Amino acid sequence: MFRFCSGLILCLLATAGFAQDRTHFNYILYCQGCHTADGVGAENAVPRLKDQVGYFLQVEGGREYLVQVPGSATSALNDKDLTAVLNWMVQEFAGESLSSNARPYTEKEVAMLRKTPLKELVKHREALVLSIASELKKVIK
């Protein structure tokens, strides 16, 4: 079982009550408009999170990318809420793309990474997608 939720008690704590509602609400309000409710995005318009976002955590630079991508880094969410939403998105959408040794983002890590948003996005993402294809033998959109 992946370390994002390494024990039953942690899972229950992470998914119970107000905090989870607040995080899901923040996803709806700040992310869902483009990434859609089920994380599939839109072909040729918005990248797919569903069953794919976890691959980025398995290649060099991918972990940073998910925070430095402008939608994350320049979001109106504060560091704490952004961290919660990022971890929620990975847990909710990654599916089998998440490796067993993945670890959640920390607020400190997110706060540091978002200070340097990516300025050139498309080429950066293309390079990561190539890494995923060659290292993990997975084709993503």
Residues found near another protein in the complex (CB under 8 A):
18, 21-22, 25, 28-34, 36-37, 41-46, 71, 75-76
For another protein, the closer CB: 10 or 42: 42
Closest approach, Cβ 6 to another protein, in A, equals: 27
Integer CA distances (angstroms), 22 to 15, 94, 117, in order: 11, 20, 25
The answer to whether the CB of 73 falls within 8 A of the CB of 113 is yes
For another protein, the closer CB: 67 or 98: 67
Integer CA distances (angstroms), 116 to 68, 101, 110, 128, 140, in order: 6, 26, 11, 18, 25
Closest approach, Cβ 112 to another protein, in A, equals: 23
For another protein, the closer CB: 46 or 133: 46
For another protein, the closer CB: 37 or 122: 37
Closest approach, Cβ 27 to another protein, in A, equals: 10
The answer to whether the CB of 88 falls within 8 A of the CB of 24 is yes
Torsions phi, psi for 25 (to 5 deg): -60, -45
Closest approach, Cβ 30 to another protein, in A, equals: 6
